[in-house]
Structures are given as C-alpha cells and as structure tokens.
Chains A and B, each alone.
Chain A
Amino acid sequence: MKPAAFDYVRADTLDEALAVLAAEGGDARIIAGGQSLMAMLNMRLARPKVLVDIMRIGDLDRIAEERGRIVVGAGVRQAKLLAWSELAAKLPLVALALPWTGHEQTRSRGTICGSVAHADPSAETPLCLIALEGEVHLRSARRRRVVAAGDFITGMMNTARQDDEMIEAVSFPIRAGNGYGFREVARRHGDFAITACAAIASANGIRLAVAGVADKPEVRNWPDLDGSALDDALNAFAYELDARDDIHATARYRRDLVRQIGREVIMEARRCRA
C-alpha cells in the first residue's frame, strides 16, 4: 500500500527539527533510516501530518568516546557502528548482537537511535542498551534530559519520549574485564528474534537480558550461580516473562529458549570474563 499524505521537512540543523516537533507535537514524526517507519506508513499503521528527516543534519552521525561511555548520535546508521574499528574492543556485546539486526540491506540505512525509539520487543539494540545500563539522551526545544535505557522503554513500542522530544544520542558505558555472550533464535538470519539473550559476566556475578518474550527487554542479576541453582533461576525467569503464543512460536517454546540459550550465553560470558 501507499502512505497517506504528509508534509516533509528536511531539517538542516537540530534546532530546525526540534522547532517542528515543538510546533506539531504528536502530529510530527522523525524519519531516520526509515526501515521501520516507512513500512508503517506504507501500511497506514502510522499517519503523521509531517515527517521530519534528520539524516542531513551535520554532526549527528558521530560515534565518540566521552567520560567512559560510547556516545552514538541519532544519525549513526547500524552499518556504520558495525564497521567502527573499535567496536569489538569497546562494546563487545554490541559487536556480537548487531550483525543479527536485520540484513545488510537494512543495516545500511537503519539507525541505532531509531531502533531504540521504535522499541520493538525483539530488537537487539534496545536489548544491548538495557543490558549494558546505557542511557538515552533526549532533547527538545525546551530542555535536555538523560533517561536510563531501562526506564526509557516502557512497553511494546512504547517509550518515555515526549511528543516534542527527539533522541539526540544513546550512550553505552565501557566496562573493561567483563565477559559477554549473545545468541538469538529466529526463523531466518536477520528476521526479528523469537527470543534473544544477552549475558554479562562481571566480578559481581551475572546479568541476563532477554528480548522477544515480554513486551520489552527484561533483565535479572544473579550471583555466580551454577548447576541446578542456575537452572532454577532460569526457569523462574522464563515463567516471569509471561510468554504468549503467537504465529511464530508457542509460549512453551519461548520459555525453553530462555532456559537453553540463556544458559549458553551465561557460560560463554563467563569464559570471556577476564
């Protein structure tokens, strides 16, 4: 299908984009990579009055290290972050997970921040941002604020973003010495995950984050559990996620994936811990 009619604004500066959001509020939508929004427009699941294109704003496509964090600007496409030479050293979890986000042909256009703004419950980037205790940097014409990733995503495609705000950047803390593991199960490489698991092993124990089961990524922190204690923790977590049946998988299959690949990624993360 074809989109309903909308005005199109190509913003040259951040202030211009924010001014449109301030004036039009919920009737305006930012378009970044377009890899989720355009499909929604084509299917008329979204009918904004005005689209604000932010991809020609200079300086928004920055990847920078600032105060122990990697800051990824709203203009950074997934392919650009994946090709960044320091990614594996600074953000090993993102380096593991990002190749699973869509296909070469969608990562070339889709952005990191767009993925967080879209907040699909199966998406890898929000999962990593929450697992790593990252932050979302919001900006409007009135103010700037920083929200913890875990508080930003509030449900399926729901976030704490106000209508006049845009995500200016997201930031991931750099943590040396931790071990990481990531795995997902999808029908085909690049399809949305039926279940995705990310584990972090640190000096304090393990942290497991799961996407694709609940309406947003969920996280648990445990001490260094082993054997049946780990099985019990994984089993309890799998049930707490309140999995549902859908066309792709049953709730029972999803719980099984949490137990199986949850354990695998935890073991992998422990092996990689310094």
Chain B
Amino acid sequence: MPRLTATQRHSVRFRLNGHPVEGSAEPRMQLADFLRHELGATGTHVGCEHGVCGACTVLVDGMLTRSCLTLAVQVDGCDVRTVEGLAPERGRLSVLQAAFRRHHGLQCGFCTPGVLMSLDRYLSTNPNPTEDQLRELLSGHLCRCTGYTPIIRAAMEAAATLASSTRQEDSTHV
C-alpha cells in the first residue's frame, strides 16, 4: 500500500493516447494540470474546476472522466485518452471533428475538447443516437458560444457517416 507524502513529487506513469508518458506530481495535483503543465498536452481545457463545465473531460480506462475531479496520482498505470488522440493522423481530422468544422460546431473552441471526447465515446457505443440522447449527453457540458444546435447537427451527421461506413465495411467482408 503506497503512501504518497503531501509535500513530495511522485512519479506518475500512464499511457496517453497509446504512448507511455511519465512525469511527477504532488498528490494534490489535478490530472488536468498534470496533462497541461507536466506533459504539455494543452488540448484539454480547464474551466470551472468543480465538474460542471465539462471542458476538461477525458477518457480514463474507457470512462468519461472530469480531469479536474481526478488526481494525477489516481491514474497511475491507466489508459488516458485526450482530444489530441482523436485525429487518425497528422493533418487529418476524425469524422466527428470534420463534421464539427463543417457545421460550425465550435466558435471560440474552449468547450470543444471536452465535448468531442464525450461525443466520440458515446458514438462508439451508441451508433444510432437520437437527438434527445445527444442533448442529454451534452447536459454535461457548457458551451457559451454555439447554442448547442450546430454541435447536435455535427454529431448527428458524424453518427450517420460512421454508420454508413461501417455498413460498407461489413458488406465488403461478405
């Protein structure tokens, strides 16, 4: 049973978007700050620091996670995914990201990293969402710019695109 003392920095290791990373943190350091300040992964944003705005949302071991309500030391050994991991390769956007661009799903972009993580995770397990389901999912995010409608449009289109591409893949396999 490790006891990490308050005033020292402790080594923290995990996989970030598939790659091993390492840094050091006092026990009180939020995962959000660890990502941004220790690892330089500034894609994840920090708004309210009490779980309400959703800007800091990431995936930890497949679970949607507020990185402001999680300590860096808690994710030691875990699999962490952030907005930096969404694009399939440099210079190419994911289907969801491209739909956001097309539909103006972002304006200032502050809320976007968290919104994308929630939608990406949700669409991977619910490929045929209704608009109501997406609105309920987005209740966990605050966007001060878009009024949410373009976000919903982008997400619905991304869901349809992803569904038709999996259908095509399925039919090429038969």
Across the two chains, which residue of chain A brings its CB closest to B51? Answer: A39
Determine the chain B residues whose CB is within 8 A of the CB of A5 once the complex forms: 6-7, 26-28
Stretch from B60-68, B83-91, B164-172 that touches the partner: B60-68
Q: What size tier do the contact residues of chain A reach? A: 35 or more
Expressed in whole angstroms, the Cα–Cα distance for A12 and B4 within the complex equals: 14
Per-residue contact bits, chain A 161-190, to B (CB 8 Å; 1 contact, 0 not): 000000000000000000000000000111
Interface size on B, residues (CB 8 A): 34
Residue in contact with A109 in the complex, picked from B63, B118, B136, CB distance below 8 Å: B63
Output the least CB separation between B26 and chain A (Å).
Answer: 7
Could you tell me if B50 and A8 are in contact, using CB atoms closer than 8 angstroms? Answer: no
Determine the chain B residues whose CB is within 8 A of the CB of A1 once the complex forms: 49
Q: Does B3 contact A (CB under 8 A)?
A: yes
Could you tell me if A105 and B1 are in contact, using CB atoms closer than 8 angstroms? Answer: no
Residue in contact with B69 in the complex, picked from A35, A53, A77, A104, CB distance below 8 Å: A35
What 7 A-B pairs are tightest by C-beta distance, nearest first?
A: A103-B140, A8-B27, A39-B50, A38-B69, A5-B6, A105-B140, A108-B63
Per-residue contact bits, chain A 24-60, to B (CB 8 Å; 1 contact, 0 not): 0000000100110011011100000111010100000
Expressed in whole angstroms, the Cα–Cα distance for A19 and B151 within the complex equals: 49
Q: Does A246 contact B (CB under 8 A)?
A: no
Determine the chain A residues whose CB is within 8 A of the CB of B118 once the complex forms: 104-105
Determine the chain B residues whose CB is within 8 A of the CB of A214 once the complex forms: none
Q: Does B74 contact A (CB under 8 A)?
A: yes
Could you tell me if B66 and A7 are in contact, using CB atoms closer than 8 angstroms? Answer: no
Known pairs A38-B70, A42-B50; A2 contacts B64 (CB<8 A): no
Across the two chains, which residue of chain A brings its CB closest to B135? Answer: A189
6 contacts between A and B (CB under 8 A): A8-B6, A16-B1, A31-B74, A41-B28, A42-B30, A106-B140
